[in-house]
Every structure is written in structure tokens, then in C-alpha cells.
Amino acid sequence: MNSLCVFTEDFFNYRFGPEHPFNPLRLQLWLELLQDAGLLEKHQMVHPRPATMAELLAVHSEDYLRAVQQAGAGVEPVPGLERYGLGTDDNPVFPHMHEAAALITGATLVAAELVMEGKAEHALNMAGGLHHAHRGRASGFCIYNDAAVAIAWLQRRYGIRVAYIDTDAHHGDGVQAIFYDDPDVLTISFHEDGRYLFPGTGSVGEMGKGDGLGYCLNFPLEPFTEDDSLLEVMDAVLPQVLRAFRPDLIISQHGCDGHRLDPLTHLALTGRSYREIPRLVHRLAHQFAGGRWVALGGGGYDIWRVVPVAWAMLWAEMADRQLPSSIPQRWLNRWQSRSPEKLPLVFTGNIEEDPPIPRRAEISDKNTATLNRLCQNHLLMYTVFPAARGGLWGY
């Protein structure tokens, strides 16, 4: 079955300012790389629609939505914006902010509907993945939480169980918080340890509450974690958990700011991880969710060397397309003069031969210890997941 990409150049209007690290130019670079590489055809692209106020209100508070609308309209000063997380260095106000954020959120809704209605097996919203937004406040460059809005919509319309997998370097705190007591939403986040990185959450002990106890899994990674260690723990956690939960659909967030070139984080991943993560999620979607898979973007702040390539590999995996052996010369000719860095020549990047990070064994051992703590904490899951019987981890 086909895979579809929900996209419009109007996504570029989600822009906090010329000096802000969340630069929509990364979407243009990614899109043109796909097109120049012959990986994306016009018939695979679907135009989004804005999320309605009713759809947004399923997740966000009415006073927060009103504050976003008023601030973006710029008609009059809006008092107390800071309590909504707006007007800060991370989330400065910009014109038509509500419209831009509602369109990105609507794109994720369109992607979810395409999959659930059988019009696509997999669907992508590369502008989505704004996982830090909370019910009543913006956070971490995120105004509306498109993944959470889509999950709430899917629950209301189809009554399904959703697994949300987040591999951004930053913890997926907003999605987790919104569904923290919901046993029909499984949130799983692999991220840099919150002791060293925003938003400071995502410890192993955050497991959900009430009926949702056990339906929240967090894996805080040690700074300078490399590919082998991340992929080993993902492969240890995800198949077991999804086998027990049996989701009807998987939503995955693919921030690529864990790359060793990213300027805002401290992980040490390479292009290999951003090739292998989509492969793993793709396989698990077919194994446990009937192939139903919605993928979203997220963080990524080396917009020249990392983001376009990592996200091109994501789309190629979703669409079952073979990547060319090298980056198209047309794309390089168009963008190299504007790039402050030498652009990559191949899709996995040119850094695979870099020397390993010091303390590799120590870092890997610490991640293994975290895996053991996670397993022990979730042994109680056999009472939460009736299908697991012997325990979520197979004991």
C-alpha cells in the first residue's frame, strides 16, 4: 500500500525569527533533497487543513488557545503571556502564530485519517512532532501539541489504542503529561538524560498514574551515547512492550537532534541511527499495528548537514524507496554556497569514520544499567497488561 506525505509550503510560516534555532528552512532543504533524489512524487503529497478549535480544545485549554490567537493577531498587548510560555526566548510571539500552529496540527490529523481510512498505510507530517506543548502553555519551540491532538482525535473517532514512540534528544514531556493517566495511550521516549538537557524530565520512575500506571516508559540516555548503545536498548525495549500493548496504530516522533553534530544536545549518534530507527519502527508497525504508522518530525538544529539527510532516510524507509548512492549534485549546487558547513556527499553522512567518543564502554554500561532499572520497575506491568501474563518483559 502507498505512503503519503502531508505538506504545504505554508509550514514555513511557523517561524520564531531569523536568529531562532527552530528554522523552517530545514523543511525546504529536506523537501528539495527528496525531490532532487527522485524520492518523492507529486501524487504522494497531500495538502493539509488547519485543526479546528474543537479539535484543539480536546487537548489545550480555552484560555491558552485564546492567548495564542490574541498574541499572534498583534492587535493589542496581551497581559501575562509568560504564564502561557509565550513571549519568551524559546517561544517568541510571531504574526499569525495560531494559524501556523493549527495548520501543522491539522496536518498530523490528516495523516492519521489517511492511515485509519485505509488511504495510506503510512503517512508523514515532517513539520509535526511538536511534543513539548502542554495543555495550557507553550514550551520548547512548541505552540500546539500536534501528536497529542491527533491521539485524542483518534480515540474519540475510532476508539483505538495508540503507541507513541519518541526518539528526539529531548524528552517528549508534553505528550506524556497529557496522557499520563490513560491506559489506551502508551508513551515511550528515548532521550538524553534530563539532568543534562531540557526539559529536565523523563526519568525511569515516571511511569504514569492511576489507570495509566505502567503505560509510560522513559529511557534517559547518557550524554555522548553512540549508535550501538541506543539501538541495542531500543531493540530490547520496543518489541516486548508493543507485543504486550498491541496498539492499533503507532505514532513516532523523529527528532534528529541526537546527532553528534547537533549544536543543542550532547548525544553522539550518526546517520546510522537515523537510518535504523525508521527501519525498526516500520517493522514493528507491521508486526504489531497492522502496518498503521504515522511519522512526525521534531527537533534538529544542524539544518544543513543532518536534518535533510536524516529525514530523507525516514521518508525512504516509509515509502520503500531505495536511496541513491550519493547526495544529488543539483541539491549540493543549490545550497552549498549558503551553507556555513560543507554539505554531506552521501546519505549516511561523512562522519562514520570519526574516532569513537571517549568513555564508550562506560557510557554503554550506564545505559545497560538504566535498561535493567526500567525492566525491574515495569515488572509490575503483568497486573496492568492482562495480555502480558508473565510480565511485560517476558518473566
pLDDT in tens, the chain (395 residues): 699 999 999 999 999 999 999 999 999 999 999 999 999 999 999 999 999 999 999 999 999 999 999 999 985 567 789 999 999 999 999 999 999 999 999 999 999 999 999 999 999 999 999 999 999 999 999 999 999 999 999 999 999 999 999 999 999 999 999 999 999 999 999 999 999 999 999 999 999 999 999 999 999 999 999 999 999 999 999 999 999 999 999 999 999 999 999 999 999 999 999 999 999 999 999 999 999 999 999 999 999 999 999 999 999 999 999 999 899 999 999 999 999 999 999 987 554 446 667 789 999 999 999 999 988 887 645 444 444 444 444 43
Specify the pLDDT at position 377. 81
365: CB partners within 8 A, 6+ apart: none
Nearest partner of 380 among 244, 250, 187, judged by Cα: 244
What's the burial of 360, exposed, middle or buried (CB within 10 Å: 0-12/13-18/19+)? middle
Q: Are 56 and 102 in contact (CB under 8 A)?
A: yes
Residue 256: left (phi > 0), alpha (psi -120 to 50), or beta? alpha
CA distance 371 to 361: 15
Listed by start position, the domains of the chain span 3-388
Specify the pLDDT at position 77. 66
Place of cell 501524487: 43
Nearest partner of 247 among 112, 374, 379, 373, judged by Cα: 112
C-alpha cell read off for 335: 545550497
Q: How far is CA 172 from the centre of its chain?
A: 8
DSSP annotation of 336? T
Specify the pLDDT at position 218. 98
Amino acid, res. 224: F
* DSSP line for 242-265: HHHH--SEEEEE---TTBTT-SS-
H helices within the chain, ranges in order? Answer: 25-36, 53-57, 62-73, 97-116, 146-158, 173-178, 227-245, 271-288, 307-319, 329-335, 360-377
Place of cell 538544529: 301
CA distance 253 to 172: 9
| Fold of the CATH domain 3-388 | Arginase; Chain A (3.40.800)
Q: Are 364 and 223 in contact (CB under 8 A)?
A: no
Angle, helices 25-36 vs 307-319, to 10°: value is: 50
CB atoms within 10 A of CB 205: 9
Q: Do β-strands 3-6 and 216-221 pair in parallel, antiparallel, or remain unpaired?
A: unpaired
Amino acid, res. 62: E
Specify the pLDDT at position 208. 95
Catalytic member of 60, 122, 131, 132: 132
pTM of the full structure: 0.95
Specify the pLDDT at position 356. 64
Does the active-site annotation cover 191? no
Q: Are 23 and 303 in contact (CB under 8 A)?
A: yes
CB atoms within 10 A of CB 340: 6
